[in-house]
Structure 1
Amino acid sequence: MTNKPFAEVIVDISARNLDRVFHYSIPPEINVPLRAGARVVVSFSGRKVEGYIVGFSDVSEVSGIKNISEVLDPETWLPADLIALAGWMADRYMCSTVTAIKALMPAGARTTGQTFFVPADSPEVVPVALLAGLEREVFDYVCRRGKVPQKEMFSRFGGRELETVLKELGSRGLIEVVRVIKPRLKPRQVQVIELALNREECERVIKDIAGKAPKQGAVLRTVYEYGSLPAAELSGLAGTTPATVRELIKKGYLAAKTVEIRRDPYASRSFTETEPLKPTPEQEKALQRLQKAITCSRLETFLLHGVTGSGKTEVYLQAIDCCIKSGKQAIVLVPEISLTPQMVERFKGRFGNLVAVLHSRLSAGERYDEWRQIKTGRVRVVVGARSAVFAPFDKLGLIIIDEEHETSYKQEDSPKYHAREVAIARGRLTNCVVVLGSATPSLESYSRALAGRYSLLTIENRVSGQALPEVTIVDLREEMKAGHRSIFSRELIGRIGDVLARREQVILFLNRRGYATFIVCRECGLVMKCPKCSITLTLHADEHELRCHYCDFRIKAPNICPDCASASIRQFGVGTQRVESEIARWFPDARVARMDMDTTTGKGSHEKILNRFRDGGIDILVGTQMIAKGLDFPGVTLVGVITADTSLNLPDFRAAERTFQLLTQVAGRAGRGKRPGEVVVQTYTPEHYSVVYAKNHDYRGFFREELTLREILEYPPYCSLVRIVISGKTENNVIQGSEMTASKLSQEFSRYSLGITQPLLGPAPAPLSKLRNRYRWQICIRGTPGSLLRRVIRKALESQQNDPLFATLKVSVDVDPLGMM
């Protein structure tokens, strides 16, 4: 809140030269308290735009300061640490400040704008008399209607000429353009009916009217029984009509009032209350260090490296309990929506209504209401996916990032932030504890822990005392030599049969959905590709269609070749849909389910599948990486990896690390109960070090070998990496723009030492060289981590932003990218 005369506002306009503070006066008619982070409507270059207050000042260096036009929603404002965090993100990820601020806001709190044309207050008579043709027609229509939405105007009159006419009428002062900005969502309010009498009076009235007006009596009895009811439900429950309810309100027996209703995604769920478990000695040691840092409000980042099944979640729960008892709040991030149901159950079971949930599968209204619950301090713990790191707590004491190595913590759209980095930055701003947990930490995190930048906590044993599962590697080349052509090796088929005979459960993992990876004509060699993206189309057998998993282009799968009319169309590669189909053929009595992006589109679909699996209604669960991490099902004693080579062969320097992590994580789903687990990994490259170390559950061995390679190649964590992707609809423009950008970068780099032998890689076509009808080239820059590298890149890009060529191109900057496609 402030009593200063000027508000410092960042306007919502994406232009580099406008990425700065503008001063606006606070008019006396705005009688609500204003805070930094509040959203306002301001006048900017003759139009109404949304803006965000980031501070206040007593003086302004410019004259003619305009007033703030409107405060959008006084309740939706951001804590001071989030405003500072937006500034840090803008610098770190080389985006505009307003882009960073908008990332902090919940989807439901964003605004919608509508443009209207209205008559001027006093149009001059002479110019009006001169109007003719379309100008006269448009002007008369606006005067007759009084207020015409832009969409209606262009629908009625259409054409390019209309834009010229509207500009001309505006310049003559005959019509005005009005921009109305309002929040997309507001708190949900409903009318409820309650008794206007005390209960004794109500009993008397019910007796008096029961014989004369039975329907009115029924309504009164219903309200008497329930206390209060939504108006929309009351008449139905009482077996009458809304008119009867209105009559009773007129008589003064009932009263209507408007109340806010929370859109609670878990209102219909009940959670079994749980008590803290006795920690193992390793858990206790980790907890003591965490609790000490939380109690002392000491800024510290911990890396909790615990094997799969070691009870990291129980450590999180007890650390959060300490945080709450210290009067503070906690955020817990999970990497996948598929982890959320099980995580929510654990946290709601321990902390009840003190827990709010934030993830993309909630409706916009549910997310908005959860955000408001957090904002008003009604909850103390937030569990959610990546964007939950922005939960608007004002007494933050702890941020936990479970499975910190996961790539889904990286945002693919601008701002291209990494939730792990943002959490640590927010920890610095709020002096809170940050915990990064994983069985397979990223190389960056583990190397920082060894260097002392993070505090390393290690749990090397499972809570149950069970050994880690035995891993068997199957060489698929040998299967081929033996004439065994199934997608399941003989070893895997035998193990599945044994497990089913013991009435235990199986997880089959393949990180590729669909039925077949691609289809090809054996006559002419045609491979069916997406016309919009440089990627093969994936066959989905149930719908008999080919789909692009990038732009969702779909066509019916052909039975004959579109080029040569041959019938020799064949399927190649394997997806989860085919695994599901084949396993049902091998084991027809087994209950099989599939969990991937195709089977989990509906709300709550993840939870339904996982609940069936947990309750023993599924024998074999087939899925992609959403089943590979974090899930804890004691009945699973066998995990099968259909092919370990899917991630290993990607054109990415992190391919070996991803493969090791996936294999280790999915192997960790087996043997978490009383019965020992076993894992079968099928691969064409059994000698690859990522496969060998995963077989032996040897994270440190993999870390040492991979780190040596990264040092030789000068890749992270030995440098900072920035990827610039230049895209456009005309390939020649993209190539020319890429070459110009590379040249400009080379000029700038020649002035500085970036500590790398070859800082500039490219320009070259991106691995995915065409996406959604846009051609893509990339430039990769390596340098010593720090602000110098970003400053040099920013200077190079800003020097060419006014070039007409770049008006046709999109330049995307990704700092420390996790994907190179």
Structure 2
Amino acid sequence: MSADNPTRAGDYRASVLLPLPLSGAYDYKLTLPAKRGAIVTAPLGPRQSLGVVWGSAEGGVAEAKLKLAEPLDGAPHLPGSLCDFIDWVAQYTLTLPGMVLAMALRSRQAFEPETMRTAYISGNGVPAKMTPARQRVLDTAKDGLARSVPQLAEEANVTPAVVRGLVDCGALQAIELPEFDPYRPPDPDFDVPKLNTEQALAAEVMRGAVRGRRFGVSLLDGITGSGKTETYFEAVAEALREGRQTLILLPEIALTVQFLDRFAARFGVRPAEWHSDLSPRERRRVYRAVMSGEAKIVVGARSALFLPFADLGLIVVDEEHEQAYKQEDGAIYHARDMAVVRARFAQCPVILASATPSLESYVNAKNGRYAHLTLTNRHGAAELPEVRLIDLREDRGDPGTFLSPTLRENIARTVAAGEQAMLFLNRRGYAPLTLCEACGHKLVCRQCSAWLVEHRYRKRLVCHHCGYETGLPPACPQCGTEGKFIACGPGVERVAEEFKALFPDARMAIASSDTMGGPAEMQAAIRAMQKREIDVLIGTQIVAKGHHFPQLTLVGVVDADLGGSDGDLRARERTFQLLHQVSGRAGRAEKPGLVLLQTRNPKDAVMQALTASDRDAFYEQERKYREIIHAPPFGRLAALILSGHDGEAVREAGRVLAKTAPSARGIKVWGPTPAFYALLRGQTRERLLVQTEKSIDIQAYLRTWLKDATIPKSVRLVVDVDPVSFF
């Protein structure tokens, strides 16, 4: 059944998809005809479930056996384009469609009847006795805005009892209001920036795409500090003028801190937000406002792709290269790629923005599949920072230290000049490995094949994969020797300890997911950095991108080699992107910036490309390498991961599965082999990898292979189409 054609009048049957891991939609009776996307309550066994009318009834079920599905009050519905998108995602990712639908029905409370709230405005009554406190309340209420008792008390600086006394005498009048205040519409002309020539040309292309109300992909490819955000804001402004909605995806909640401030400065109000840190009530408010079209702009994490936009006119994927856009559990998908598909179903343009695009997007732009909009100059007077290598084989400090003499000297010079510095190490905690000096025994997670990471501030050893933590044992569990544990390698806490010993008077802060309790604490640290209340920020990748600190002139990368050769075909690309992004934090205003990369491999192609500021040469090298080995974007991959508590059952399931793989031209099946983390959360893991030529329908091959596969109930099989990591 199409999005526009109702079930036949008088038939009152339809297939209803439930947000559950079921094989497909079920037939139900309806009290009224309903279009595809209509939300209903449907009985399933002894309980009621939300469901969505998905199409015409399949038939084959006797009338007497059909159960009745009831439409919800107000007849809410998912847009047809979202229903089509859900079907597509399910087919592409080999996920049960009900599991994908569940992502679109994240806020069940949003479909409950709206409640009202009581607020107060000025009334006709006069208090018998006027006091200064009462007068302040009445003066506050003169503007005619309706407020609750707590709001009036806070604004007038009185107790709630004073306000209630004015209510009792009729000086304040109660009125009933909707549960949520309406979103103030952003103003596309609130503070229009002055763009340079490159920005203006790119902005006009994107505005034209929005006005044309047609699908198309633009790669906004600009160096760090070139003003990509200000440029794509002009496309957002055009969508507002067209009366349509915009979705802006960010890879991490931490990046929203400065972004929301910049958005408010440009459009006069903050946008609606959608991410995992929202309370259920806030989720309900945003979901309703998106469905009704009231929320014109939504800034969100990857799950925002499944919100029911009433009239989606633009999608922006900021930092499109980020691995955080990959959903690794449940329905496994890549939000960047799915954003392109969502835009195609909505017939609207999509903008991918990055200073270091993914190789897939870079090749699509070079081949003309995407519009390639480039920004080659930093905004205003700012220039790209100078990048230098520090060869740790020659420029070494004392044993057990991690900041080279050259880096120390430059930190001292920067702090003395009243400027700011950033030290970057993409490793949380104090030390990544703790071992016994007597026998060499390494402390490993009891549930994972991963080292326990020491977090000295918390006095705990933590597994960063399953969350298991414990204290440092008094004696080695292998040899029994006491007091012989040593910390090997640095984490940000250890770098901070060394820094504090060298610069005791400098104001320092650590920024990592371990030290920041959530977005509020991250926001406080960023604001402190902007106000120059911090001299040196020591952090992991959460400080590497998206932040603008005008006084930051020095960036020191403690270990530039970390992550560059971990057996992943994208390892070099990710290392280059991360180091390029963190380098881009330096020198974003008038003062020149300097980036120092500590490395033991200065001749590596990544290091050479960074020092030469020759990104495209590195990309071309990676492109040729991928093309030779038929790896994405010149071939396709799918991973099959088997896991379970019975290791031998998992390994045997892998061997059996590999033997049943159909032979086909242009397709190779590798494995099974132990996954990178062969033990994770107490489960043994085996991996098979399917590699095909780009023209082959890898999903069809996988369906043919897996439809008759026999997997023991004790073993779980997960399929990851287009994997981005290989842990």
For the criterion TM > 0.5, the same-fold answer is: yes
Deviates more, 1:773-782 or 1:328-337: 328-337
SS in 2 for 1:84: helix
Retained in 2: the 8 A contact 1:311–1:462? yes
Q: Which runs of structure 2 are paired with 1:191-206 in the superposition (5 Å)?
A: 191-192=118-119, 199=124, 202-203=125-126, 206=127
Retained in 2: the 8 A contact 1:37–1:52? no
Retained in 1: the 8 A contact 2:292–2:310? no
Partner Cα separation in structure 2 for residue 790 and residue 441 of structure 1: 26
Query: Corresponding residue for 2:447?
Result: 532
SS in 2 for 1:679: strand
Q: Which runs of structure 2 are paired with 1:420-819 in the superposition (5 Å)?
A: 420-480=336-396, 485-566=400-481, 567-745=483-661, 748=662, 750=663, 752-753=664-665, 755-756=666-667, 759-785=668-694, 788-800=697-709, 803=710, 805-819=711-725
Letter of the structure 2 residue corresponding to residue 812 of structure 1: V
For residue 246 of structure 1, report the CA deviation from its aligned partner.
9.4
Q: Measured at CA, do residues 467 and 602 of structure 1 come closer, stay the same or move farther in structure 2, by a change above 3 Å?
A: closer
Letter of the structure 1 residue corresponding to residue 426 of structure 2: N
For residue 326 of structure 1, report the CA deviation from its aligned partner.
2.5
Residues 181-240 of structure 1, C-alpha deviations (whole Å, 9 max, x = no match): xx7987565344567xx52xx13xx34xx49xx9xx999969976865536778995664
For residue 817 of structure 1, report the CA deviation from its aligned partner.
0.9
Q: Which runs of structure 2 are paired with 1:137-536 in the superposition (5 Å)?
A: 189-192=116-119, 199=124, 202-203=125-126, 206-207=127-128, 210=129, 228-230=146-148, 240=161, 258-262=176-180, 275-353=191-269, 355-480=271-396, 485-536=400-451
Retained in 2: the 8 A contact 1:39–1:50? no
Partner Cα separation in structure 2 for residue 806 and residue 765 of structure 1: 18
Retained in 1: the 8 A contact 2:507–2:534? yes
Q: Does 1:24 align with 2:23?
A: no
Q: Measured at CA, do residues 247 and 51 of structure 1 come closer, stay the same or move farther in structure 2, by a change above 3 Å?
A: closer
For residue 799 of structure 1, report the CA deviation from its aligned partner.
1.1
Retained in 1: the 8 A contact 2:193–2:230? yes
Query: Corresponding residue for 1:6?
Result: 13
Query: Corresponding residue for 1:50?
Result: 49
Query: Corresponding residue for 1:126?
Result: none
Query: Corresponding residue for 1:81?
Result: 81
For residue 242 of structure 1, report the CA deviation from its aligned partner.
11
Partner Cα separation in structure 1 for residue 255 and residue 75 of structure 2: 31
Partner Cα separation in structure 1 for residue 472 and residue 207 of structure 2: 58
Retained in 2: the 8 A contact 1:189–1:258? yes
Q: Measured at CA, do residues 244 and 460 of structure 1 come closer, stay the same or move farther in structure 2, by a change above 3 Å?
A: closer
Q: CA RMSD in A?
A: 3.2
Q: Measured at CA, do residues 387 and 526 of structure 1 come closer, stay the same or move farther in structure 2, by a change above 3 Å?
A: same
Q: Measured at CA, do residues 384 and 564 of structure 1 come closer, stay the same or move farther in structure 2, by a change above 3 Å?
A: same
Q: Measured at CA, do residues 47 and 432 of structure 1 come closer, stay the same or move farther in structure 2, by a change above 3 Å?
A: same
TM-score relative to the length of structure 1: 0.81
Partner Cα separation in structure 1 for residue 181 and residue 639 of structure 2: 41
Partner Cα separation in structure 2 for residue 469 and residue 323 of structure 1: 35
Letter of the structure 1 residue corresponding to residue 298 of structure 2: V
Query: Corresponding residue for 1:173?
Result: none
Partner Cα separation in structure 2 for residue 547 and residue 58 of structure 1: 52
For residue 536 of structure 1, report the CA deviation from its aligned partner.
0.4
Retained in 2: the 8 A contact 1:39–1:73? no
For residue 605 of structure 1, report the CA deviation from its aligned partner.
1.2
Residues 724-769 of structure 1, C-alpha deviations (whole Å, 9 max, x = no match): 1110010011011111221222xx2x1x32x25xx11110110011
Retained in 1: the 8 A contact 2:28–2:67? yes
Q: How many residues align?
A: 713
SS in 2 for 1:357: strand
Deviates more, 1:70-79 or 1:391-400: 70-79
Deviates more, 1:95-104 or 1:595-604: 595-604
For residue 90 of structure 1, report the CA deviation from its aligned partner.
0.2
Partner Cα separation in structure 2 for residue 531 and residue 58 of structure 1: 51
Residues 630-662 of structure 1, C-alpha deviations (whole Å, 9 max, x = no match): 111111100010001221132311111011111
SS in 2 for 1:806: coil
SS in 1 for 2:697: helix
For residue 548 of structure 1, report the CA deviation from its aligned partner.
0.6
Residues 236-259 of structure 1, C-alpha deviations (whole Å, 9 max, x = no match): 9566499979976xxx88765653
Query: Corresponding residue for 1:180?
Result: none
Partner Cα separation in structure 2 for residue 485 and residue 56 of structure 1: 66
Partner Cα separation in structure 2 for residue 694 and residue 590 of structure 1: 29
SS in 1 for 2:555: strand
TM-score relative to the length of structure 2: 0.91
Partner Cα separation in structure 2 for residue 688 and residue 655 of structure 1: 13
SS in 2 for 1:647: coil
Partner Cα separation in structure 2 for residue 289 and residue 569 of structure 1: 60
Percent of matched pairs sharing the same residue = 34
Retained in 1: the 8 A contact 2:15–2:58? no
Partner Cα separation in structure 1 for residue 341 and residue 58 of structure 2: 31
Letter of the structure 2 residue corresponding to residue 27 of structure 1: T
Query: Corresponding residue for 1:103?
Result: 103
Retained in 1: the 8 A contact 2:339–2:350? yes
Letter of the structure 1 residue corresponding to residue 52 of structure 2: I
Partner Cα separation in structure 2 for residue 718 and residue 26 of structure 1: 48
For residue 618 of structure 1, report the CA deviation from its aligned partner.
0.5
Partner Cα separation in structure 2 for residue 235 and residue 697 of structure 1: 58
SS in 2 for 1:645: coil
Partner Cα separation in structure 1 for residue 307 and residue 268 of structure 2: 18
Q: Measured at CA, do residues 583 and 262 of structure 1 come closer, stay the same or move farther in structure 2, by a change above 3 Å?
A: farther
SS in 2 for 1:477: coil
Q: Measured at CA, do residues 426 and 569 of structure 1 come closer, stay the same or move farther in structure 2, by a change above 3 Å?
A: same
SS in 1 for 2:591: coil
Retained in 2: the 8 A contact 1:10–1:98? yes
Structure 1: state its 5+ residue gaps: 112-182
Structure 2: state its 5+ residue gaps: none
SS in 2 for 1:648: coil
Partner Cα separation in structure 1 for residue 630 and residue 215 of structure 2: 31
Query: Corresponding residue for 1:116?
Result: none
Partner Cα separation in structure 2 for residue 504 and residue 602 of structure 1: 27
Letter of the structure 2 residue corresponding to residue 590 of structure 1: A
Retained in 1: the 8 A contact 2:245–2:312? yes
For residue 440 of structure 1, report the CA deviation from its aligned partner.
0.9
For residue 365 of structure 1, report the CA deviation from its aligned partner.
1.9
Retained in 2: the 8 A contact 1:193–1:223? no
For residue 489 of structure 1, report the CA deviation from its aligned partner.
0.8
Q: Measured at CA, do residues 735 and 342 of structure 1 come closer, stay the same or move farther in structure 2, by a change above 3 Å?
A: same
Retained in 1: the 8 A contact 2:293–2:311? no
For residue 429 of structure 1, report the CA deviation from its aligned partner.
1.0
Partner Cα separation in structure 2 for residue 238 and residue 525 of structure 1: 65
Letter of the structure 2 residue corresponding to residue 78 of structure 1: L
Partner Cα separation in structure 2 for residue 220 and residue 277 of structure 1: 40
